[in-house]
A and B are shown apart, each in its own frame.
Chain A
Amino acid sequence: DAMVIQNPRYQVTQFGKPVTLSCSQTLNHNVMYWYQQKSSQAPKLLFHYYDKDFNNEADTPDNFQSRRPNTSFCFLDIRSPGLGDAAMYLCATSRGGGTSTDTQYFGPGTRLTVL
């Protein structure tokens, strides 16, 4: 089945130690998104790629970076994780195009713990 895959599902890192989360998709979608979701809160969009074009949300900290080496893969890099970065990180994809009704498909998420 076509899907959005996130690895690992659970990630533990130390304060200040860089960490990379990965997302892959078999849907061949143009757009890939990264969301941060803290406990009992709504997902918050960090950035997205439309093909190779990177779009950062205005309030996303510089500590968060992303790479999309090809259509299938997208990575979230946290350069120096702080305790406040502990959260669930959700990857999503959508076909893109000119419609606002394009559906986003979410991966299962990676839960990041910062010690």
Chain B
Amino acid sequence: AQSVTQLGSHVSVSEGALVLLRCNYSSSVPPYLFWYVQYPNQGLQLLLKYTSAATLVKGINDFEAEFKKSETSFHLTKPSAHMSDAAEYFCAVTSSGGYQKVTFGTGTKLQVIP
């Protein structure tokens, strides 16, 4: 079975500060990892995904994440937070198979303070 753990259900940063959202995974096989963002009363939007091609993955809106096998981590970062980044962020992992069954973490709500 595969799972992800997101450390911190709420994170607050000042506008312009570094954003760091933590995700650790558990997998018996090489994982495929994703970060999704959800704005209030909206669906989920894919920020980025790790597919084993490169350990540093760049996504939309200047977000990036680094896959670290030794630490079983896939933390999400952004150099400078904007007010518009306030949302909930979900880390997710897939299982193998003919379709993509996604297991989501419990989410981290990001608050950006002006």
Contacts and interface: CB of A to CB of B under 8 A. Distances in A.
B101 A103 contact: no
Contact of B99 (A6, A40, A50, A111): A50
Nearest to B46: A103
Nearest to A45: B101
Contacts of B42: 108-109
A92 B100 CA distance: 11
Interface residues of A, number: 30
A106 B47 CA distance: 12
Contacts of A109: 41-43
Contacts of B97: 100
A74 interface: no
Contacts of B45: 106
A104 B49 contact: no
A9 B43 CA distance: 11
A99 B106 CA distance: 25
Nearest to B30: A100
B67 interface: no
Contacts of B32: 100-101
Interface of B: 9, 32, 36, 41-46, 49, 51, 90, 94-102, 104-107
13 contacts: A42-B104, A42-B107, A43-B44, A43-B104, A96-B98, A100-B94, A100-B96, A101-B49, A101-B51, A102-B100, A106-B45, A108-B42, A109-B42
